[in-house]
Amino acid sequence: PLTQSVWEARLLAKAAKKYNVATQMGNQGYSSKATRIACEYIWNGEIGDITEVHAWNGGGFSRGITEWPPAEPVPDTLRWDLWQGHARERTYSSKIHPIHWRGFLDYGTMMIGDWGIHICGPANWGLGLGETHPISVECIAVEGANPVTYPNYACKLQFPARQVKNAKTGKMPPVTVYWYEGSMAGKYEWPEAIPQDDRKGINEVFVGTKGYLGTGGRGESYSLLPRSRQENTPLPPEVLERSPGHFRDWIRACKGGQPACSNFSIAGPYTEWMLLGAISWRFPNEVLKWDGENMRFTNNEKANEFVKPYFRKGWTLEDINV
């Protein structure tokens, strides 16, 4: 996503504010018409009060690698020391670079970062999750944990009631967001009310007191569920301006126009809460209580070691006051 760690996401958001620069995270679905319509259905109360969100991706990188790969000669075209950045100095392997680094603990965040930051866009925007901090995160299942790469896991984050200006009532109740990745993606138990054929193409489900809403891709498709309900339901009132496109949106901001839709004041807090999931699997079945203002877990000092990344000599970043 925007960063590998919660601390870095907070730092980037503060830096963007301090230096007053145009920014945009590359979660292109945020600019899609479908994401905006999904948000408008949510705000219009079409499926009632939303109490749960379930999202998943079954992919992965470097699955099955449980120890550091054997060293290989560094290609002439690669500055390996530079590429590693602030991480601990390690030996090069083609099993890491150029693509499978995403699955390594030293460099990536596996699927919550690779796809989760896309898939959960409608939830973050529609439910105003960036307007507050989650109060806890808990890993509810994990398999394949090892010291080198990310395992398959599922987690849940608890969010408190919060103000959401576009919602009909101006506020929303507490909500639990579930994330499933790798083999855990198949563990999601679909509501019986949603027929098998209606589940195709869906990777995020909103559970409301009056029904269900599903989104797909990077938030580039939506449907009330069952889909027969969508066929008989008019579009909600249009609240959000339709985007000129994710890149054009950023270019417009660079030229002095309105801030881009996923600028770092939005993308930073969004990335923060998602990356709590990438910490949670290390402490299965333990409710990690999160103090977002102070960016720390209040009941597990060991978990706090993963909030800020390791910085090797010469790569240290300092905090920014704004």
Instruction: With cut-offs at 50, 70 and 90, classify the pLDDT of residue 105.
Output: very high
Percent of the chain exceeding pLDDT 90 equals 99
Please state, in angstroms and rounded to a whole number, the distance separating the CA atoms of residues 179 and 155.
5
pLDDT of residue 310: 96
Instruction: With cut-offs at 50, 70 and 90, classify the pLDDT of residue 72.
Output: very high
Please state, in angstroms and rounded to a whole number, the distance separating the CA atoms of residues 126 and 123.
5
What dihedral do alpha carbons 112, 115, 120, 124 form, nearest 10°? 80
Location of structure tokens 């083999």 = 183
User: Is the per-residue pLDDT at 237 higher than 90?
Assistant: yes
Over residues 127-153, the mean pLDDT reads 97
Structure tokens given for 77: 């075209």
∠ Cα 245 251 255 (to 5°): 140
State the distance between the two ends of the chain, measured CA to CA, in whole angstroms: 23
pLDDT of residue 95: 98
Q: How does the average pLDDT of the chain come out, rounded?
A: 97
Location of structure tokens 């145009």 = 22
pLDDT of residue 168: 93
Question: What HEC string does the chain produce?
Answer: CCCCCHHHHHHHHHHHHHHCCCCCCCCHHHHCHHHHHHHHHHHCCCCCCEEEEEEEECCCCCCCCCCCCCCCCCCCCCCHHHHHCCCCCCCCCCCCCCCHHHHECCCCCHHHHHHHHHHCHHHHHHCCHHHCCCCEEEEEEEECCCCCECCEEEEEEEECCEECCCCCCCEECCEEEEEEEHHHHHHCCCCCCCCHHHHCCCCEEEEECCEEEEEECCCCEEEEECHHHHHCCCCCCCCCCCCCCHHHHHHHHHCCCCCCCCCHHHHHHHHHHHHHHHHHCCCECCCEEEECCCCEECCCHHHHCCCCCCCCCCCCCCCCCC
Over residues 167-194, the mean pLDDT reads 97
User: Is the per-residue pLDDT at 42 higher than 90?
Assistant: yes
Over residues 15-21, the mean pLDDT reads 97
pLDDT of residue 75: 97
pLDDT of residue 1: 82
pLDDT of residue 195: 97
Task: Give pLDDT tens digits for 182-211.
Answer: 999 999 999 999 999 999 999 999 999 999
User: Does this model's pTM top 0.75?
Assistant: yes
Structure tokens given for 151: 């395992």
pLDDT of residue 218: 97
User: Is the per-residue pLDDT at 126 higher than 90?
Assistant: yes
pLDDT of residue 175: 98
Instruction: With cut-offs at 50, 70 and 90, classify the pLDDT of residue 43.
Output: very high
Backbone angles phi, psi at 52, to 5 degrees: -145, 150
Task: Give pLDDT tens digits for 283-293.
Answer: 999 999 999 99
Instruction: With cut-offs at 50, 70 and 90, classify the pLDDT of residue 61.
Output: very high
